[in-house]
């Protein structure tokens, strides 16, 4: 199971690994049945572009995405039979991007294993009129142990190749056994589901103890052996802890630091987003259908 902070799970069978200089045509994949979404986790609420007004301004109670905010997570994961230190750096940029007709906030999510960059992802979030926070696409670049770019086979963009965005953080959560769609893309065999597992919980991390916490249980029905993640959302902060249930990687993450970036660091994040987009337009067919991100 993929372990980015707001991750999705993508099952792929790769035949050839690309080089950084080669155009990425995509791996050979086992396609998910078209009925999987409705069967396992229908949308929490229908996706309607008219419901997204000022959608890049994300002030959700449980998942606020304020430009310039950077959340640093520390934890450990079992990779290759060994437990290694793991770091996630989740940066809310001051850039926006139009995805599936909706203005989204661009987030840069960097994944480091034992200090080495393993993945760098652009993800696109939007808030609807009911304060639900959606993810409408992801472009995750992957790197080998030497830090060399190997491809971005798990890219999905809402509205392209039958991909659908979904809700990560409900605006008016209610504890329920109903699972809801977090994202789906049949072409890359991707389906993630969530469930409002608990409310009014207490969770502690190096940054402090939080009350009134919402717990979202996540899994991929297409990967039944991958277990579950439980993400703890604290009011006014966002995710403060991630735990694993029956997950072979058994990764845990805790919020270790909250940074508020100044003008110089924000400019660096913008430059990183633009560099990643330049490569995305070269290697990803679905990404080419999106306009460039801009400051907003």
pLDDT value at residue 17: 33
pLDDT value for 13: 28
For 93-121, how does the pLDDT look when each residue is reduced to its tens digit (9 = 90+)? 999 999 999 999 999 999 999 889 999 99
Residue 169, pLDDT above cutoff 50: yes
Please determine, for residue 136, whether its predicted confidence score (pLDDT) is greater than 80.
Answer: yes
Residue 280 has pLDDT above 90, yes or no: yes
Nearest Cα neighbor of 122 from 150, 151, 93 is 93
Indicate if the pLDDT at residue 14 is higher than 90: no
Question: Given a cut of 60, is residue 127 above it in pLDDT?
Answer: yes
Q: Mean pLDDT across the stretch 205-226?
A: 95
Rounded distance, CA 174 to CA 80, Å? 38
User: Which tens digit of pLDDT belongs to each residue from 218-272?
Assistant: 999 998 888 899 999 999 999 999 998 887 777 799 999 999 999 999 999 999 9
pLDDT for residue 26 is more than 90:
no
């Amino acid at each position: 199971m993929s372990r980015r902070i707001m991750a999705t799970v993508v099952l792929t069978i790769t035949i050839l690994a690309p080089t950084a200089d080669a155009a990425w045509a995509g791996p050979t994949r086992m396609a998910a049945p078209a009925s999987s979404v409705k069967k396992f986790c229908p949308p929490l609420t229908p996706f309607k572009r008219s419901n997204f007004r000022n959608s890049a301004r994300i002030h959700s109670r449980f998942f606020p995405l304020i430009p310039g905010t950077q959340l640093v997570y520390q934890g450990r994961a079992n990779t290759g039979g060994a437990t290694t230190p793991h770091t996630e750096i989740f940066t809310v940029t001051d850039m926006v991007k139009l995805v599936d007709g909706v203005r989204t906030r661009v987030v840069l999510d960097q994944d480091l294993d034992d200090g080495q960059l393993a993945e760098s992802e652009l993800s696109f979030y939007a808030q609807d009129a009911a304060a639900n926070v959606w993810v409408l696409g992801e472009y995750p670049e992957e790197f080998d142990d030497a830090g060399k770019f190997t491809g971005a086979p798990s890219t999905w963009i809402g509205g392209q190749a039958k991909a659908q965005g979904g809700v990560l953080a409900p605006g008016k959560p209610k504890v329920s056994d109903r699972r809801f769609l977090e994202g789906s893309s049949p072409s890359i065999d991707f389906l993630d589901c969530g469930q409002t597992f608990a409310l009014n919980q207490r969770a502690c991390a190096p940054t402090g103890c939080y009350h009134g916490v919402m717990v979202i249980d996540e899994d991929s029905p297409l990967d039944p052996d991958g277990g579950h993640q439980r993400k703890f959302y604290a009011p006014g902060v966002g995710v403060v802890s991630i735990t694993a249930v029956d997950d072979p990687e058994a990764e845990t993450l805790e919020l270790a630091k909250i940074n508020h970036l100044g003008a110089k660091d924000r400019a660096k994040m913008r430059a990183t987003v633009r560099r990643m987009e330049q490569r995305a337009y070269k290697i990803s067919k679905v990404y080419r259908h999106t306009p460039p991100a801009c400051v907003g």
